[in-house]
Chain A
Amino acid sequence: MVTTPPPAITALGLRKSYGDKIVLNGIDLDVPSGRIWSLLGPNGAGKTTMVQILSTLIRPDAGTVHVAGHDLAKDPDAVRRSIGVTGQFAAVDEMLTGEENLLLMGDLHHLDRRASRRRANELLKQFDLEDAGKKVASTYSGGMRRKLDLAMTLVGNPRIIFLDEPTTGLDPRSRHTMWEIIRGLVANEGITIFLTTQYLEEADELADRIAVLDHGKLVAQGTPDELKSLVPGSHILLTFGDITELDAAVRVLGESARDDQALTLRVPSNGDLGEMRSLLDRLDAASVVAKNLSIHTPDLDDVFLTLTGRPAAENEAENAEKETV
């Protein structure tokens, strides 16, 4: 008989505000075990606050949370024993070497000396940090520091790991290394990952389920494909040389979605070749020449736009502006 494992994290009616700024406004969560569950949202949406609450760092104003079956408010130490946290800003002791950092974690998990040393060596090897192990962490590159951070989180063999924007600020290569490591953790060790990210691509790439957080509320949840099905299907975007060509095309193809400024016409399409050929044939027959043609399939950017009314990039720009003020 197959039993479904109990959920790794559940939350009900989670609220948090700082002064009159509401950061989390009634969040309900249900994170299954052994999966990568991603919280997607722009900067300032409340992702980090959520991780800080679920990882016992700060207390919520209201709501009940269970992590690994333990009540967060009543038994935070039991929660702490089941989790590991790797944040956006590497939580390593920069004055110690990589190896000393890992041994420090071993001591704090009350491993005996030999077990602690064995685990440290294992992790240095697994994360390709063997050469760097004897060097002080302040000399590490961003990617190495992030790897050491995650290695430290793993010393205690946590069942649930919170990864708060684990690849923010990393170069593409380090990002892909990090992705490989994260996938490996779930596939080989059955760990549950609670991943927050502002990168749609990252959520799409890694997550089994995604929840979209915007202004302190979850605006959608589902698998990446379910989320993509929320937005209008794929379309073909035709660009014309001038307004008369555009007018002519509209007469042939219908008013669908024209943009007089950009001189473009958006035609719904499922991306099927035959359909595309017939579309071009109809334009040909009317001697209308399109300057450019592109096929567009929905990605999570479109999901974001549909759900929040703003593109994700604009959100980020808006927040970046706020930060510089």
Chain B
Amino acid sequence: MALMSYAMSDSWTMVRRNVRHITRYPSMLLATVVIPALMFLLFVFAFGGVMGKGLVGKDAGTDYVDYLSPGIILLALVMAAMSTSVSVAMDMTKGIINRFRTMAIARTSVLVGHVVGSVVQALVSVVIMLAVALVAGFRPSAGIGGWLAALGLVALLSFALTWIAVAFGLAAKTVESASNTPMLLQLLPFLSSAFVPAESMASGLRWFTEYQPFTPIADTLRGLFLGRPIGNDWIIAIAWCLGIALVGYLWSARLFKRDPQMT
């Protein structure tokens, strides 16, 4: 019982440490918002006219800004995950982590601090992205329930991506490689139905797009925001999130438990 409550209070201490880092140095947060926001504006106002005409199947006739807005959230989350990897890798190079390791505290609290801090940061950037989208003409028709479900899925995805990002950050030998590994992750939203429908892609790519996690997640979010039927996409989306989170957590815990690499 005491052990459990120490684990909780240590985690809470670490969460406050990470949130303080973010509020003291908000440039990281800004960087993760600016790129998806610019890309969003570029896609909507420069390419949107053409791309909107290309929407096929169940999306035919949808305004491109309405099609893209739920998808751009995925890009914002992936960008946030990248900044998590970098900040974890940077933190691991600092002596303070070794100090934590020589103290009688719950070991995973260090990671929990990073995860919760990063999820909070990611959700802030999602709120900013949504505000940009609404100003740009995004008109979701979801009711209160749809909004809550959509934000719940966003939070769950953010949690999952953050655990994977933490593992990338721990596995990276240098801070530079920590910023490179998640690049692959960053490509995934582009190769999903976030920007254009899978049906419009070349056949090989289309197969990949249909089976990768971001497509059911993007489709579910779009369905929730636009008040459309989502079929069983939401089950697949949640299963992917839980699976990614579990893998990320187990991998991170394992990496953090091994002896630190000494130079």
The digit string for A270-295, where 1 denotes a CB below 8 A from any CB of B, is 00000000000000000000000000
6 contacts between A and B (CB under 8 A): A57-B102, A57-B260, A78-B104, A93-B17, A95-B25, A108-B105
Give chain B residues whose Cβ lies under 8 Å from the Cβ of A89: 95
Q: When A58-B259, A59-B259 are in contact, do A91 and B98 touch as well, CB less than 8 Å?
A: yes
In the complex, are the beta carbons of A110 and B9 less than 8 A apart?
A: yes
Question: Of residues 22 to 39 in B, which have CB atoms within 8 Å of A's CB atoms?
Answer: 24-25
In the complex, are the beta carbons of A107 and B9 less than 8 A apart?
A: yes
In the complex, are the beta carbons of A49 and B13 less than 8 A apart?
A: no
B96: CB under 8 A from chain A? yes
Q: How many Å from the CB of A146 to the closest CB on chain B?
A: 11
B254: CB under 8 A from chain A? no
In the complex, are the beta carbons of A92 and B96 less than 8 A apart?
A: yes
8 smallest beta-carbon distances between A and B, as pairs = A91-B95, A91-B99, A80-B104, A107-B13, A58-B259, A77-B104, A81-B104, A55-B102
Q: When A110-B6, A110-B9 are in contact, do A52 and B96 touch as well, CB less than 8 Å?
A: no
Known contacts A57-B101, A58-B260; can you find 4 more A-B pairs with CB under 8 A?
Answer: A56-B102, A58-B262, A91-B95, A104-B13
Query: Do most interface residues of chain B lie in helix, strand or loop, or is the interface mixed?
Result: helix
In the complex, are the beta carbons of A80 and B95 less than 8 A apart?
A: no
- Docked Cα-Cα span, A80 to B10, in Å, equals 15
Q: When A52-B262, A85-B102 are in contact, do A96 and B17 touch as well, CB less than 8 Å?
A: yes
- Docked Cα-Cα span, A87 to B20, in Å, equals 25
Chain B positions within 8 Å of A, measured between CB atoms, are 6, 9-10, 13, 17, 20-21, 24-25, 94-96, 98-105, 259-260, 262
Give chain A residues whose Cβ lies under 8 Å from the Cβ of B13: 104, 107-108
- Docked Cα-Cα span, A110 to B100, in Å, equals 14
A265: CB under 8 A from chain B? no
Give chain B residues whose Cβ lies under 8 Å from the Cβ of A18: 262
Give chain A residues whose Cβ lies under 8 Å from the Cβ of B21: 95
Question: Of residues 152 to 170 in A, which have CB atoms within 8 Å of B's CB atoms?
Answer: 152, 156
Q: How many Å from the CB of B47 to the closest CB on chain A?
A: 40
Of B17, B96, B101, B262, most buried by chain A (CB within 10 Å of CB) is: B96
The digit string for A72-97, where 1 denotes a CB below 8 A from any CB of B, is 00000110110111010111111110
The digit string for A42-76, where 1 denotes a CB below 8 A from any CB of B, is 00000011001001111100000000000000000
Q: Which residue of A lies closest to B12 (CB)?
A: A107
Give chain A residues whose Cβ lies under 8 Å from the Cβ of B262: 18, 48-49, 52, 58
Q: How many Å from the CB of B53 to the closest CB on chain A?
A: 49
Give chain A residues whose Cβ lies under 8 Å from the Cβ of B99: 85, 91, 152
A100: CB under 8 A from chain B? yes
Give chain B residues whose Cβ lies under 8 Å from the Cβ of A92: 95-96
- Docked Cα-Cα span, A156 to B100, in Å, equals 13
- Docked Cα-Cα span, A59 to B13, in Å, equals 27
Q: Which of B9, B20, B96, B102 contacts A80 (CB 8 A)?
A: B102
Give chain B residues whose Cβ lies under 8 Å from the Cβ of A58: 259-260, 262
Q: When A49-B262, A108-B10 are in contact, do A87 and B17 touch as well, CB less than 8 Å?
A: no
Q: Which residue of B lies closest to A100 (CB)?
A: B20
In the complex, are the beta carbons of A87 and B95 less than 8 A apart?
A: yes
Give chain A residues whose Cβ lies under 8 Å from the Cβ of B260: 57-58
Give chain A residues whose Cβ lies under 8 Å from the Cβ of B94: 91, 93-94
Q: How many Å from the CB of B253 to the closest CB on chain A?
A: 17
- Docked Cα-Cα span, A231 to B36, in Å, equals 71
The digit string for A104-128, where 1 denotes a CB below 8 A from any CB of B, is 1001111000000000000000000
The digit string for A5-36, where 1 denotes a CB below 8 A from any CB of B, is 00000000000001000000000000000000
The digit string for A132-175, where 1 denotes a CB below 8 A from any CB of B, is 00001000000000000100100010000000000000000000
Q: How many Å from the CB of A248 to the closest CB on chain B?
A: 57
